[in-house]
Amino acid sequence: MNDRQEDEDAAGPSYHRLTVRAVRDETADAKSFVLIPERHETALYRYRPGQFLSFRIPHEVGPIVRSYSLSSAPGTDPDMTVCVKRVVGGRGSNWFNDHLRTGARIEATRPAGRFVLRDNDKPLLLIAGGSGITPCISLIKQALAETGRRVKLIYANQNAASVIYRATLDLLESRFDGRFTCQHWLDDDRGFLTADDVMAAAEGWECADSYICGPAPLMDMTEETLGRQFGGDAVILTERFLSPDDPVQPAVPASAEPVPAPAAASPFVQHAWFRLSLDGEDHSVPIAEGQTLLQAALAFGVDVPSSCTEGHCGTCMAQLRSGEVTMASTRALSKRNIARGYVLACQSTPSSTAEIWLDFDL
């Protein structure tokens, strides 16, 4: 993916060391990097498909920060992977492609970003250009593997040789025949994608959640076109590439701003905070829509026990002393656990307006 400036909070980001387990050539100018956190920091690198990491690169001009989206999905890929495509003159992207080798270590922040699936059953329409496929393929894998949603990808590239993840896309299309279609658009054959092309490809997908990622001109055009075509209720999320080398870019990158903002009036909004008991101490933990209780607690810096985050191991089991949650899976819970009011924090999202109190001191 192209360079994008670090979105730092006031306190500054915290970096952790990742090891490059493997490097794969995707095209002549793009590579995938498989990244492994330190064993004791595995929990810090749980992520949602579509999110990105910000890297502190030891460039010869001095440390520079660049953000690259994860192309992996936790439900389908064993390890985190980012894909980086060279940008002409891009310091970060060229450093990755030229210098980062298997076995090397690099510093990165925890995963972040809001270019993620919304919790509904709507079909997904994704429009990607070039390395903009990176977060999109992560979303596609999650949607196909973990939901029953229909998915359509319109993927624009200059030519066939510049198509990233071609084999994976072909495989997914074959495996999920009827649920996933990938429409390739090659500029060398058909010219640049136009508004009319987008409208034709998007016809029948008016009720979909739309995701756009790619070069700025492509994104501007498709965002405007879909907004016009789908009307005011359309939900369009974008992930923009903003390079620090670009003098016209804003200081803080836009990241997945829905257009317009989702209007769903969920009882969830009542749960801006929840109570968490651990080691005899109480914490008030902020939680955002779509977060599990575990994600919210870890993001807030509470050292709650957790391991697989998939509902298998039972490490994050806690007692729900008040409130109600919906669990995506209860795999690690026995009938005895459920009778005692135990839940899996990694699988739980708020489902009522009652105050939630999660107690880990079992």
Partner 1 sequence: MKIGTIESIWRYPVKGMRGEEISHVYTGFAGLMGDRVYGVIAADGDPAFPWHTGRDQEEFVLYEASFRSGDALLMPENLDAFEGLAPGIKPVDPSAEAFKVDVKTPGGATNDIDSPEFLADLQETAGRSLKVHMTQKGQHDCRPVSIFSLSAAAKLGEEVGMEIDKRRFRANFYVEWENQDDPYYEFSLVGKNLKIGERLEVAVIERDPRCKMITLDPDTSEESPKLLQHVSRNHGGDAGVFAAVLQEGRVKKGDPIFLT
Give contact residues for partner 1 (rule: CB under 8 A).
39-40, 42, 303, 305-308, 312-315, 317, 329, 331-332, 334-337, 360, 362
Identify the H or E element spanning 172.
Answer: helix 166-175
CB of 180 to partner 1, least distance (A): 20
Q: How far is the CB of 36 from partner 1 (least distance, A)?
A: 12
State the nearest-atom distance from the C-beta of 276 to partner 1, in Å. 13
Give 263 or 362: the residue with its C-beta nearer to partner 1.
362
Q: Smaller CB distance to partner 1: residue 118 or 283?
A: 283
Nearer to partner 1, 199 or 308 (CB): 308
Instruction: Give kind and range of the element (H or E) at residue 217.
Output: helix 216-230
Contacts of 8 (CB under 8 A, 6+ apart): none
Shortest reach from residue 302's CB to partner 1, in Å: 11
- Whole-number minimum distance, CB 306 to partner 1, in Å? 6
Residue 49 to residue 71: CA distance in whole angstroms:
8
Instruction: Answer whether 143's CB lies under 8 Å from 222's CB.
Output: no
Closer residue to partner 1, CB minimum distance, 42 or 158: 42
What distance in Å separates the CA atoms of residue 283 and residue 300, rounded to the nearest whole number?
10
Q: Closest by alpha carbon to 208, among 132, 268, 154?
A: 154
Residues 122, 95 contacting (CB under 8 angstroms): no
Q: Are 297 and 277 in contact, with CB atoms under 8 Å apart?
A: no
Between 42 and 229, whose beta carbon lies closer to partner 1? Answer: 42
